[in-house]
Structure 1
Amino acid sequence: MHPHEPHSPPPTGSSPEHTGGQPEPTPSLDKGAPQPSPWASSGGYPAPEQPAFPPPTSPYPPVAPNQYAPGHYPPGGPPMPPQHRPRGLMPWDRPARHPWEIPLLVVVIMMTSVAYLLAVLFMLIALFADPIVDEHGVEQTGSLISSPYVLLLLFAPVLLWAGRGLNFATQRVNGVRMSPTQFPEGYRMVQEAAARFGMHRAPDAYVVLGNGQINAFAAGHGFRRYVAVYSDLFEIGGAAREPDALAFIIGHEVGHIAAGHVSYWRQLGMFVAPWLPLLGASLIRAQEYTADNHGYCFSPRGASGAMATLAAGKYLNTDVGVDEMADRAAIEKGGFIWLVNAMASHPVLTWRMWALRDRSRPGPMFWRPSPPHPGMIPPPGGYPLATTPRALPPKPV
């Protein structure tokens, strides 16, 4: 067994999620007494009552420098996926796929297939048809097969395979691979997320230079799958600035892999999606909502921190009132608002925050959400002031 490969998970046992605090007893997953929205403390309108979910905890002792971690999984094994529970939007469910994803995927694959067939038809016509000559008897040299779009479609399988291979090779030679001794906190989150989603093998994980950008992505090549997290989501020493938010982001990216979004054949079937106005972007937005459902099921308490970080960055995220920003999804109106969302590959942040707060329905795709109770935006008494101390940049060492 390779020293960085996890051992086989034991059949029983579960592990809670990360917070970076002290170890706490693992709470039950029973659907007990109703609890308020996880964001209700920030003052937004109350979401529908929801059963309690287990608060993330961190059972792992710190790893001493230059020492190998005592096992890839905590005692008792990784968290096991809820095998007999339905797909849904809550942490105790199996993560749900957005209802628009598969219908849009079918339409995009059909249109991509038509484009491939037309490219092959143009190639056959150019190869077997008689040459075209003008009135002076000069043979015309231009043909449809020389069109860059036709050539792109004809070589799409090879170009996609090569691009995925180059992207993976870039991470392998330039990225810092997460392991029990390098970024162990992120490594364990990846392992736990893969186990939570029922994956047979955890993807590789890399930390890449962010240069101030807040981002992460998932991809694959061949039978390998991997996630890359930008370094600005970590602090000096490899620890997460906000472990819950990082766990949500990692759960989101591992969710892309678990949902099949990085499959070669799927991406080949979606090859023309960037050239399909509105339709291609809508499919990608639906996939992002699906990945958000995975991230929420893995780290529900990290959703607000992750969205605040995407909105204002890692130093000003504590100034963001997530309820106040999410409420604007229902009051910001206009045709340009609709157009900006329709053309975006990711859901606009206000709609995305709304979807992560209101877990009673899938995220809004085309029309802004409506509040369940009129007159609740803004809430009576207004929004509270941000009182959390602002995070300071790390000092040079």
Structure 2
Amino acid sequence: MYPDNGQNWGQAYPGHRQAPAQHQWSGGTGWNPPVPLPGLMPHDRPARHSWEIPLLVAAIVLTVVAYVAAIAALFLGVVSTWVLIVLIAPILIAVGRGQLYGSQQVNGIKMTPTQFPDGYRMVAEAAARFGMTEPPDAYVVLGNGRINAFASGHGFRRFVVVYSDLFEIGGEAREPDALAFIIGHEVGHIAAGHASYWRQLGQFAANYIPVVGSALFRSMEYTADNHGYCVRPQGARGAMGVLGAGKYLVSNVGFDELADRATTERGFFPWFVNLLSGHPVLTWRAAALRNRTRHGHLFVKPGQIYRDPQLLRYAADPAGPVTR
């Protein structure tokens, strides 16, 4: 239905608003860099999503209110399950973080220069790119078919865990760039402070507040995606493909078709699913990785289908200029 020959990129398809003039493809041979937002391209310091800090402040305020209410209830002699959970939350979070780290220490396969050396190198490169003084520990754990990775911490230690099925996409015949993007995403969570004990304690109430909490977590995922993109922009397409179709079918996923559907899939329930999700829905996430002129959408779907070959060329060679 929509042309995909490269000549129409940078323009909105029929029925959609035109992209800004400075992003149009001129068809010339010179290099005319687009104007992406600061922090959204590989040469930049990765940007925090514009909504993350306001939502974090709201979550901290709600957490403080919850603590004050729980303490007041205790003094009034009102003891309930939620009061106890709030009061012992600092202990629960500390114990949970320690147990999670301990589990990786005794059950995970640690990435080292001799065990999973490619993954170890990707973690070290991402940490260096984000200005971290030392790379976090990194582990491979049995996935049993599940596609997942996460980052956390305990005390002053930070660590990344990659499920074995996801790690397999780094195989020579598959998508090593996608693995580098995903590892950059997880290390990005650490670099952005998302794995901090005090951060997790401060936003504790957000776990129980559907709209505010889920929006905060979506903004954090967009922030981590910005980090992954700065490490390996060419891996964004494969990463979205493997998250959508799995490690074996990733090569069959059309990234642009996936991203286009962020605009074309209409209705209440697609919007509602995103509203309650702790991760951006995959179509919106793909659209955000393709359009680096703005932060990812949190509440309202993208209003236009946006493709810009200059941004793609700029991502591949941010040093420019390039002639063809």
- TM-score class, shorter-chain normalisation, is 0.7 to 0.9
| 1:234 to partner: Cα distance | 3.0
After superposition, where does 1:279-290 map in structure 2 within 5 Å?
A: 279-290=212-223
Q: Distance in 2 between matches of 1:277 and 1:161?
A: 23
Query: What letter is aligned with 1:312?
Result: A
Residues 119, 345 of structure 1: alpha-carbon distance in 2 compared, 3 angstrom cutoff: same
1:108 and 2:59 aligned: yes
CA RMSD of aligned residues (A): 2.4
Query: What letter is aligned with 1:300?
Result: P
Residues 331-380 of structure 1, C-alpha deviations (whole Å, 9 max, x = no match): 1111111111100000001100000001111001111112267xx9xxxx
Q: Decide whether the 8 Å contact of 1:196 with 1:298 is kept in 2.
A: yes
Alignment correspondent of 1:155 = 88
| 1:52 to partner: Cα distance | 9.7
After superposition, where does 1:114-193 map in structure 2 within 5 Å?
A: 114-126=65-77, 144-145=78-79, 147-193=80-126
Alignment correspondent of 1:5 = none
SS at match of 1:88: coil
| 1:49 to partner: Cα distance | 6.4
Residues 217-276 of structure 1, C-alpha deviations (whole Å, 9 max, x = no match): 000000000000010123499768421000000000000000000110010011111211
Match 1:275 to one of 194, 205, 208: 208
Alignment correspondent of 1:301 = 234
Residues 307-329 of structure 1, C-alpha deviations (whole Å, 9 max, x = no match): 00101001111111110111011
SS at match of 2:263: helix
After superposition, where does 1:60-75 map in structure 2 within 5 Å?
A: none
Q: Distance in 1 between matches of 2:133 and 2:174?
A: 30
Residues 188-244 of structure 1, C-alpha deviations (whole Å, 9 max, x = no match): 000000000011121000001111111100000000000000101234997684210
Q: Decide whether the 8 Å contact of 2:169 with 2:179 is kept in 1.
A: no
SS at match of 2:135: coil
Q: Decide whether the 8 Å contact of 2:41 with 2:229 is kept in 1.
A: yes
Q: Distance in 1 between matches of 2:169 and 2:41?
A: 33
Match 1:230 to one of 163, 170, 190: 163
Counting matched residue pairs gives 285
1:363 and 2:314 aligned: no
Q: Decide whether the 8 Å contact of 2:214 with 2:275 is kept in 1.
A: yes
Q: Distance in 1 between matches of 2:59 and 2:69?
A: 15
5+ residue gaps, structure 2 = 11-22, 26-30, 308-324
Tell me whether 43-52 or 355-364 shows the greater mean CA deviation.
43-52
- Compare CA radii of gyration and give the structure with the larger one: 1
Q: Decide whether the 8 Å contact of 2:259 with 2:284 is kept in 1.
A: yes
Residues 97, 44 of structure 1: alpha-carbon distance in 2 compared, 3 angstrom cutoff: farther
Residues 193, 41 of structure 1: alpha-carbon distance in 2 compared, 3 angstrom cutoff: farther
5+ residue gaps, structure 1 = 1-39, 54-85, 127-143, 377-397
Q: Tell me the TM-score normalized by structure 1.
A: 0.68
Match 2:270 to one of 319, 322, 337: 337
Q: Distance in 1 between matches of 2:284 and 2:169?
A: 33
Q: Decide whether the 8 Å contact of 1:322 with 1:353 is kept in 2.
A: yes
Q: Distance in 2 between matches of 1:212 and 1:320?
A: 19
Q: Which has the higher contact order (CA 8 A, sep 6+)?
A: 2
